[in-house]
Amino acid sequence: MTVTQIIILAIIGLMAGIFSGTLGVGGAIIVIPALIFFMGLSQHQAQGTSLAFMIPPVTLMAALNYSKNGYVNWKFAVILAIMFVVGTYFGSILSISIPEKILRKMFGGLMLIVALKIIFWK
């Protein structure tokens, strides 16, 4: 790994952390495209790397800050976390079986749909 790669990864991680802490986004919206465009990873590699770095301790500090201010529904979070583990297991099996070109289009399409919904939501 080169010094340039380390610096780029540090910037990507910092930006993902800032966006995650402020807007609740980071992995999919920031990290995956950045790993593809700036680091040359495939869609599969970017998704796998994004999932690997977001193991629970990464978001712990942000969740604690939100919780201190009464913005965390822990009952909802526990149910979501359990089902998230199940979903990521089966989703990763599905993703690995999809050709990269199709997966990239699915990912971009989802981001486009979500962006349009957010922009034009009343």
How does pLDDT run across 43-54, given as a tens digit for each residue? 899 888 887 887
d(CA 39, CA 2): 11
Residue 5, pLDDT above cutoff 90: yes
Q: Percent of the chain beyond pLDDT 70?
A: 94
How many domains is the chain partitioned into structurally?
1
Let me know if 29 is exposed, middle or buried by CB neighbors in 10 A (0-12, 13-18, 19+): middle
d(CA 46, CA 64): 27
d(CA 46, CA 92): 12
pLDDT tens digits for 89-111? 888 899 999 999 999 999 899 88
| Domain range for 34 | 3-120
Asked if 50 and 24 touch (Cβ cutoff 8 Å), the reply is no
pLDDT tens digits for 30-46? 888 999 999 999 989 98
pTM exceeds cut of 0.85? no
